[in-house]
Chain A
Amino acid sequence: MPASIEHSLTTTSAWLADTALSHTLQNVEWLVPAIQTVHILAVAVVMSCVLMLSLGVFGLHGREQPLARTVARFAPGIGGGLPVLLVTGVLMITAEPDRALPNPAFQLKMALLLAAAAVTWTYVRGLARTPVPSPARRPAIAVRLAAGTALGLWVAVLVAGRWIAYTLSR
């Protein structure tokens, strides 16, 4: 990583750790695990919806109904869970900026997150614009590939997230 980015990360980290919110999060013992718990519950919603959506696209469940119904059932869970993950994630970073911002596992997680969200958004939007004409037809191979890629990327986001605890740079 370029030295200038490294430097601004360190400065941001130090500033964030000195805010009143960060002090509160550091000093109230149960706050961080409580926020982590909400984060994991939101991960449960997003991850399960991603998996159910992908399995639906692969034709592994709900084959007797239009794919649009499966999309309508599971896509909102992804869109609804992400803001919760964002807020709880920002709170965790605020509590311990040094644990996250300079951490390679955290940086990788953010890159994977952007990729996962982009691929998911693109293919779900594509399915909404050009619905699969009948339950008997399978989605295009490109859509199935995108669903598989998205699933793999979301799993990678979770793995990188868990590894933040084990790659502390301090």
Chain B
Amino acid sequence: MTIASLLEALYATPLAAEIRENEFAFPTIETVHVLAITLVVGSIAVLDLRLLGWASRDRPVSRLSADVLPVTWTAFACALLSGALLFASNAPKYLDNPYFRAKLALLALVGLNMLAYQFVVSRDLPAWDAGGATPRAARLAAGLSLVFWTGVVTCGRWVGFTMLAGY
């Protein structure tokens, strides 16, 4: 089965048809998606700004992570689910959209950056957790996170604008 026929099969499912054709389904799911992504981006930015040393220097990185990451992950799960439903409504058209492809690529970069932070950069977290300057690698990861997420939001907005579903 090719990807194209898979996407066509997805397009033909009753769920996809319902999201396309029900007047309220698409805007409702889209609203959940926007709310979720704003909470993902805003909450992760709190941590990024701490790692850059620009804000929240009065709170250890580990404590601030415990404060915001539950929000980030919950919102991310909602964004992923609502995004999958929006994608399913018209899969072939979305995958054909260059901004949608760019958004997926940026999300992959976000994931790689997070893994690099989690498993490499933050290994010596106890040494700089409570205060003082964060290492250059941590600041780089935080800066990249802000840039990639800004890119995700930008591409997402352009997907809406070029698909003309509702902008």
Contact = CB atoms under 8 A, between A and B. Distances in A.
A170 B158 CA distance: 23
A169 to B, nearest CB: 15
B133 to A, nearest CB: 20
Contacts of B154: 37
Interface string B24-52: 00010011001101110111011000000
A73 B71 contact: no
A37 B39 contact: no
Interface stretch (A5-13, A126-134, A141-149, A156-164): A156-164
B157 A44 contact: no
B142 to A, nearest CB: 16
Nearest to B55: A73
Contact of B59 (A32, A43, A69): A69
A36 B31 contact: no
A55 interface: yes
B167 A36 contact: yes
B34 A55 contact: no
A61 interface: yes
Interface in A32-51: 32-33, 36-37, 40-41, 43-49, 51
A44 B59 contact: no
Question: Would you call the interface of chain A mostly helix, strand, loop, or mixed?
Answer: helix
A65 B27 CA distance: 40
Contact of B45 (A36, A44, A51): A44
Contacts of B67: 52, 61-62
Contacts of B13: none
Contacts of B71: 48, 51-52, 55
Contacts of A51: 39, 43, 71
A165 B160 CA distance: 11
Contact of A162 (B31, B42, B58, B153): B31
Interface string B54-79: 01101100010011101100000000
B59 A162 contact: no
A163 B167 CA distance: 10
Interface in B59-107: 59, 63, 66-68, 70-71
B68 A52 contact: yes
B72 to A, nearest CB: 9
Contacts of A69: 58-59
Contacts of B167: 33, 36, 165
A7 B35 CA distance: 34
A65 B59 CA distance: 10
Nearest to B72: A48
15 contacts: A32-B161, A37-B154, A40-B153, A41-B41, A43-B38, A44-B38, A48-B38, A48-B39, A51-B43, A61-B67, A69-B59, A77-B42, A162-B30, A163-B27, A166-B166
Given A44-B153, A55-B71, 4 more contacts: A41-B41, A51-B39, A73-B59, A158-B38
* Nearest 5 interchain pairs by C-beta: A48-B42, A44-B42, A44-B38, A165-B166, A44-B41
